[in-house]
């Protein structure tokens, strides 16, 4: 197992329940310093009350969490308790560098802490380690600061600065709402007009969104972000931001100049900071030696299994890239892996 975030822990739990012994039959490797998956790195102002709805891990509810506490702390403590309760024995920090074909139908997992030989790999490495920065003309000439959501630690450090926030996802809107009281000016640019979603996100809408992403992944296309298919939730803070003009969106600028951004029609916005809230991509570089990628750029996945190699399962990828999706996918992968191991004799 590679990765001990929501997806990895959910899968490790189901493996354990069906008789796989952690440390003996299953090894969980994670390169982060402590429990919490990517949540441990999220900015302190992303309080637990602000997250969209974190689904509990299987077998242990997350109850009584103070919504005013940083989600990083809440989730770190919860995952830590979870790992200890179910004795999941995560080995960290262990960085998986490559997964290769081994002898006798086995896979070799090369890491910062030696090489493992295994019959199946569950990959649950998330996206946090691969922030996506689009390239724009003139980007290298900008004299101000450019950073990505992955480096954002809160609004205070932008006091008095003019900030351009790029990106139409949940992170972009949250950054803008937080920055507005501190920054001298904020500008929001997105590639496509943002779509706001009225009302609660019911189960039917959830299923439809997941089906859309699943379809892309079945075709071997790179999965899209969940927000791109669900729309942005129109909560009170967002409504206020729209009314105040903080969420007044402009189309993507055409170039970056040394002191700001510029559109083809001559409009210029001076800026001290460009904050790229442009999302993340699946962190799968270590699987490259297996050549699973399709010409479309994605890995074709049926259920959770890589179509090109049934020994590889991707959890938290595409349709299962949410806390609820990861739980379900973990259970499904374990069923599949049991079948695979039952079919094949153990290689020496």
Ligand X SMILES: Cc1cc2nc3c(=O)[nH]c(=O)nc-3n(C[C@H](O)[C@H](O)[C@H](O)COP(=O)(O)OP(=O)(O)OC[C@H]3O[C@@H](n4cnc5c(N)ncnc54)[C@H](O)[C@@H]3O)c2cc1C
Positions that interact with ligand X (CB under 6 A): 2-8, 29-32, 37-38, 42, 51-55, 95-96, 124-126, 128-129, 171, 283, 286, 316, 321-323, 326
Q: Kindly list the distances between the CA atom of residue 11 and the CA atoms of 81, 169, 284, 328, in Å, as whole numbers in the listed order.
A: 16, 28, 18, 9
**With respect to ligand X, which residue has the nearer C-beta, 180 or 321?**
321
The DSSP code for 186 is: E
Tell me how far apart the alpha carbons of residues 302 and 214 are, in angstroms, rounded to a whole number: 9
CB of 277 to ligand X, least distance (A): 9
Smallest gap from Cβ 262 to ligand X, in A, equals 29
Nearer Cβ to ligand X, position 174 or 261? 174
Name the residue nearer to ligand X (CB basis): 256 or 334.
334
Q: How far apart are the first and last CA of the chain?
A: 20
Backbone dihedral angles phi then psi of residue 249, each to the nearest 5 degrees: -90, 140
Q: What is the dihedral of CA 30, 32, 35, 37, to 10 degrees?
A: -80
Runs of H (alpha helix) within 126-280: 170-179, 203-218, 226-230, 236-244
Nearest to 312 by CA among 94, 108, 49, 154: 108
**Least distance between ligand X and beta carbon 253 (Å):** 24
**Hey, is 47 helix, strand or coil?**
strand
Query: CB-wise, 253 or 280, nearer to ligand X?
Result: 280
Which CB sits closer to ligand X, 77 or 262? Answer: 77
In 135-202, alpha helices (H): 170-179
CB of residue 202 to ligand X, shortest distance in Å: 16
DSSP string, 270-282: E-SEEEE---B--
Integer Cα distance of 44 and 300 in angstroms? 36
Least distance to ligand X, CB of residue 324, Å: 6
Smallest gap, in angstroms, from Cβ of residue 159 to ligand X? 22
Q: Judged by CB, which is closer to ligand X: 112, or 141?
A: 112
Cα separation of 12 and 342, whole Å?
19
Minimum CB–partner distance for residue 243 and ligand X (Å): 24
Q: Tell me whether residue 55 or residue 300 sits nearer to ligand X (CB atom).
A: 55
With a CB cutoff of 8 Å and minimum separation 6, the contacts of 53 are 323
Residue with Cβ nearer ligand X (38 or 261): 38
Q: State the nearest-atom distance from the C-beta of 153 to ligand X, in Å.
A: 13
**Cα 208 from Cα 203, distance rounded (Å):** 9
């Amino acid at each position: 197992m590679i990765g001990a975030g929501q997806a990895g822990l959910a899968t490790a739990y189901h493996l354990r329940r069906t008789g796989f012994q952690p440390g003996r039959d299953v090894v969980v490797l994670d390169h982060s310093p402590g429990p919490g998956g990517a949540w441990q790195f999220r900015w302190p102002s992303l309080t637990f009350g602000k997250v969209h709805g974190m689904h509990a891990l299987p077998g242990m509810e997350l109850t009584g969490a103070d919504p005013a506490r940083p989600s990083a702390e809440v989730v770190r403590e919860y995952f830590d308790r979870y790992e200890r309760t179910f004795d999941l024995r995560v080995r960290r920090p262990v960085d998986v560098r490559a997964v290769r074909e081994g002898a006798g139908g086995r896979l070799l997992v090369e890491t910062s802490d030696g090489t493992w030989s295994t019959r199946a790999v569950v990959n649950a490495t998330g996206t946090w380690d691969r922030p996506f920065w689009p390239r724009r003309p003139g980007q290298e000439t900008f004299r101000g600061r450019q950073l990505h959501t992955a480096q954002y630690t809160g609004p205070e450090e932008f006091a008095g600065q003019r900030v351009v926030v790029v990106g139409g996802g949940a992170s972009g809107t949250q950054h803008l709402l937080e920055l507005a009281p501190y920054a001298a000016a904020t500008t929001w640019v997105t590639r496509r007009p943002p779509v706001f979603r009225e009302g609660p996100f019911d189960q039917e809408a959830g299923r439809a969104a997941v089906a859309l992403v699943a379809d892309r992944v079945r075709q071997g296309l790179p999965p899209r972000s969940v927000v791109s298919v669900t729309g942005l939730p129109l909560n009170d803070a967002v409504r206020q931001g729209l009314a105040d003009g903080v969420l007044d969106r402009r189309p993507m600028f055409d170039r970056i100049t040394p002191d700001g951004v510029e559109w083809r029609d001559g409009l210029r916005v001076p800026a001290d900071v460009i904050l790229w809230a442009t999302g993340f991509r699946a962190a799968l570089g270590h699987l490259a030696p297996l050549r699973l990628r399709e010409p479309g750029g994605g890995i074709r996945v049926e259920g959770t299994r890589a179509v090109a190699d049934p020994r590889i399962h991707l959890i938290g990828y595409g349709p299962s890239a949410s806390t609820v999706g990861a739980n379900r996918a973990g259970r499904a992968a374990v069923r599949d892996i049991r079948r695979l191991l039952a079919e094949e004799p153990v290689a020496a």
